[in-house]
Chain A
Amino acid sequence: MPGPTLARYFPGVEPTDALLAGRLAAGDDHALAEAFDHLAPTVYGAALRVLGEGSAAQDVVQDVFVELWSHPDRYDPRAGTLGTYLNVLARHRAVDLVRSELRRLARQARHHRLTPAGHDPSPSDAVAAAATADAMRAAVRLLPDDQRQVVELAYFQGLSYREVAVATGIPEGTAKSRLRLALAKLETVLDRQLLESI
């Protein structure tokens, strides 16, 4: 089909997005395809930035577009562009995915602590451990740069407060306060029990 020829726009603040939303509500699957073609790359990027992993990010993109198609009335063109709406939706879905995965891993870690020691980790345990680290890193990526830096040094490289302070060129007290702030933020994302188990 040739490209669209716009005879006239509908009136409105965001005419193109408002019209697209109206078409989606009317059941126009061509409009969904157009929305995907224009916006999926940025939505996928938003999901990747949180999840850092392809297949989970693809699931998020699917969730976002199925949500848009199923409930197009939830998008209000007066509140912003469709691209912004979908990116925010993708980010929320991705963070939700990290949260639920970490809760699952926390339950798994708690189970391991209660299990008698002395046995080699099974392949599935090893995979779960790797996934825990990946998920933790994904959550840490949500932190501001200065807080993320101290968390990575302290928790992933095992540095002490003093060593973190030296490595980052900040006073030790500042390193401690940044870590406290970072952990407080992570606790809103992660299951507190998981933090204790790491």
Chain B
Amino acid sequence: MTADRQDHAVPTGLRDRIMAASRDARPAGVAVPEIAPDSPTEAFARAADAFYQMLTSLGDEDWRRPVLRDLDVQGLVGHLIGVERDVQRCLSGDHEVGSANHVDSTQPAARSQAGRAPGLTVADWREAVDRTLALAGRSDLDGMVAIHGVALRVRDLLIARTFELWTHENDIRAVAGLRASVPEPSTLRPMTELATALLPFGAACTDLREPISVHLVLTGPGGGTWDVAVGEPSQDPSQLGIVADVVGFCRLFANRISPHDLDVLVTGDPRQATSVLAAAAALALD
């Protein structure tokens, strides 16, 4: 900001008057332009379509590239087929999948793709996703389910799966030399809603106990402003402001970048900011 003209003392009370008039015109926390967020099913379907398009653009040599853990691209798609099968189990009322491990449970599906024609793997994955979408369409979105050690509502599960598909899409894009993709703002919006809602749980997982009131501002289409309490309950929490790009924050939440790799504007204690950002990345599942 540059003050490039002659200044005049502002009359007392004008600041309060203008802040009140502004909030009357547009409530704080509401991003503009306003975006109609995707429903959880729409968001997951969009992410699946983007993933499918990316798969169909790969060359044969890309399928053999190492991408995550000990998996090549084909193995990672196999892992996702396994995840779809577990999701279908939990949506069908199978409680055992609630305690299954995200990686161990899907390794057989990942390994089973080795040596197959990539087109068959793509077809298997697409069929699995379509079956998940059909089951989700018949499910109560507010019903609770448990999968891979996490209990959550069906609507949140679908958004978490949106995160997962987008994240792995970009894992594959990176090793195949393709440009990174960004979800539509209407998809980003429910993703950021979920990420910010889970922030207190991420803080609990990382043993962040200091009571902190976080004013989190995510800039860019699909972003917004949230006030989130993390740590132990307190009447007098520390005040912390964090501003970050919405896509960068989603990459952090997906544990694809570290807090130190994220461009942020911090108001308050930078040490606390690093802890809060680490908490945001703590819930990611690979």
Binding site for B on A (CB under 8 A): 1-10, 16-17, 19-20, 22-23, 25-42, 44-46, 48-49, 54, 58, 61-62, 65-66, 69-73, 81-84, 87
Nearest CB of chain A from residue B35's CB, rounded to whole Å: 11
> Is the interface on chain B under 10, 10 to 19, 20 to 34, or 35 or more residues?
35 or more
Q: Which residues of A contact B151 (CB under 8 A)?
A: none
Binding site for A on B (CB under 8 A): 1-11, 14-15, 17-19, 21-23, 25-33, 215, 217-220, 223-225, 239, 241, 243, 245, 263-270, 273
Residue of B nearest to A29 (CB): B28
Q: Assess A44 versus B31: contact at CB under 8 Å? Given A7-B266, A30-B215.
A: no
Residue of A nearest to B259 (CB): A7
Q: Which residues of A contact B30 (CB under 8 A)?
A: 27
Residue of A nearest to B218 (CB): A26
Q: Which residues of B contact A66 (CB under 8 A)?
A: 18, 21-22, 25
Residue of B nearest to A32 (CB): B22
Residue of A nearest to B220 (CB): A22
A-B contacts, 7 listed (Cβ < 8 Å)? A17-B2, A25-B31, A39-B1, A41-B8, A42-B8, A45-B6, A87-B5
Q: Which residues of B contact A61 (CB under 8 A)?
A: 10, 14, 18
Q: Assess A69 versus B25: contact at CB under 8 Å? Given A7-B264, A28-B243.
A: yes
Partner of B239 from the list A1, A28, A87 (CB cut-off 8 Å) is: A1
Q: Assess A26 versus B217: contact at CB under 8 Å? Given A20-B1, A83-B4.
A: yes
Nearest CB of chain A from residue B254's CB, rounded to whole Å: 20
Nearest CB of chain B from residue A125's CB, rounded to whole Å: 30
Give the CA-CA distance A181 to B40 in the complex, in Å: 65
Residue of A nearest to B22 (CB): A69
Q: Which residues of A contact B219 (CB under 8 A)?
A: 10, 19, 22-23, 25-26
Q: Which residues of A contact B4 (CB under 8 A)?
A: 42, 81, 83-84, 87
A2 touches B267 (CB 8 A): yes
Give the CA-CA distance A146 to B268 in the complex, in Å: 53
Nearest CB of chain B from residue A60's CB, rounded to whole Å: 11
